[in-house]
Amino acid sequence: MGSIQLTGSSSIHHVNRSPNASFYSSARVRRQQSSRRPIFKACSSSFDCGITDSKTRRQFIGYTAASLSIAPIVSVQQPAGAEEPALSEWERVFLPIDPGVVLLDIAFVPDDPSHGFLLGTRQTILETKDGGDMWFPRSIPSAEEEDFNYRFNSISFRGNEGWIVGKPAILLYTSDGGKSWERIPLSSQLPGDMVYIKATGEKSAEMVTDEGAIYTTSNRGYNWRAAVQETVSATLNRTVSSGISGASYYTGTFNTVNRSLDGRYVAVSSRGNFYLTWEPGQPYWQPHNRAVSRRIQNMGWRADGGLWLLVRGGGLYLSKGTGITEEFEEVPVQSRGFGILDVGYRSKDEAWASGGSGILLRTTNGGKTWTRDKAADNIAANLYSVKFIDDNKGFVLGNDGVLLRYLG
């Protein structure tokens, strides 16, 4: 697949995605709301995240450890007249962040379960130290001097080690539970945008781009190994794409990608006309025809190891059995015609689904039947993601800075 230079340093490091040379190097780099009282929260601010190929001040910033600092707290009341009915299982956490911010990911430090981080668009990053009730902004002040407006896509912790990836290409690493973050420079020639990262062990992580590149590191990000031999485009434009509807001359990207607990991936093509899977040890992504007539919105893993599948327009399907398969059965849901966007499992039997216009659905029998939390209907936001940290800690992330916290 050729070689790319990953840093702007004078020492050139290459990646060759052939089977014989798959390394590339980088530089060092509750309680329910009784009486519906407003909750005061804090807003987000920016990271310092630029990389350029010229030897400029920006490059110097990128190659140094960037310490994050807590910005002043700004308390904002809930707008007058904006009171909403209390949710039966969730409470809304009001965040005074800019209108239009989409929340993208959330993670907590395993060694300090009350300490977590919330990511979003417009360089949004917030920190909590009380389990998610109060949030404070984190920033790198010199980020305001850069021309980029970063979208922080994914965050993951293992022990006190944590990783953040975003777009344009940015990778941050912490070894002290998020007290400070080190910038690890990456090349703009990295295939695709980094959309997901998973902390897998001591100094180890796995990251994925929206073009299907998967890289792993075991030395704190100094070197990365390609886990697949080529991008999805290259795979689909060879004979492996035969019989896959919409795969011929494919040049798109992933719409969504989700990882199972044992390291398997399922991804949906940008147009939703087919999906792909990958298991550790496979040299290529495996494409699959969709088993339903409507285009796929999102796919992910059930708690029992099976797959769930969402289609555009509000349909929900569950795979037959566990593991990777192309056989699915539709499950009736009351989505009011709005799209369902994500499913998150709290346990093997209980899961929540979220979607457009405040849709929240719950199952307590592994997905066989679903009921709607009608109190969420008045939330004027699309609820994009359901994240359960453990059995008692869960969050729903939406647009316009909407964050819901699970009450249990």
User: pLDDT band for position 234 (50/70/90)?
Assistant: confident
H or E element that contains 10: none
CA distance 231 to 238: 11
pLDDT of residue 344: 98
**Measuring CA to CA, how many Å separate 141 from each of 45, 48, 66, 70, 104?**
9, 7, 10, 10, 22
92: closest CA among 351, 380, 314?
380
For residue 56, what are the contacts with CB-CB under 8 A and spacing of at least 6? none
Q: What is the full DSSP assignment across 348-406?
A: SS-EEEEEGGG-EEEESSTTSS-EE-GGGGG--S-EEEEEESSSS-EEEEESTT-EEEE
| Other residues' Cβ atoms within 10 Å of the Cβ of residue 248 | 10
H-type alpha helices, 9-80: 57-63
**Measuring CA to CA, how many Å separate 65 from each of 170, 180, 326?**
13, 8, 46
Range scoring the smallest mean pLDDT among 58-62, 367-371, 372-376: 58-62
179: closest CA among 60, 63, 65?
65
Q: Is the pLDDT of residue 261 over 60?
A: yes
pLDDT of residue 88: 76
Q: What is the mean pLDDT of residues 282-308?
A: 94
CA distance 354 to 363: 12
367: closest CA among 387, 352, 385?
352
CA distance 10 to 218: 24
Q: Which amino acid is at 160?
A: N
Mean pLDDT (the chain, rounded): 79
For residue 98, what are the contacts with CB-CB under 8 A and spacing of at least 6? 43, 44, 122, 124, 401
CA distance 88 to 345: 18
Phi, psi at 144, each rounded to 5° = -65, -20
SS (H, E, C) 181-193: EEECCCCCCCCCC
Domain-wise residue ranges, the chain: 1-227
User: pLDDT band for position 248 (50/70/90)?
Assistant: low
Q: Could you report the per-residue pLDDT of 117-160, keeping only the tens digit for each?
A: 999 999 999 999 999 999 999 986 544 557 788 999 999 999 99
Q: Give the up-direction half-sphere exposure of residue 189: CA atoms within 13 A in the CB hemisphere.
A: 15
**Measuring CA to CA, how many Å separate 137 from each of 69, 88, 118?**
8, 29, 10
Lookup: tokens for 208 = 């994925």
| Percent of the chain at pLDDT exceeding 90 | 57
CA distance 309 to 75: 40
For residue 35, what are the contacts with CB-CB under 8 A and spacing of at least 6? none
H-type alpha helices, 106-236: 232-236
Q: Could you report the per-residue pLDDT of 303-350, keeping only the tens digit for each?
A: 999 999 999 988 999 999 888 988 999 999 988 778 999 999 999 999
pLDDT of residue 104: 98
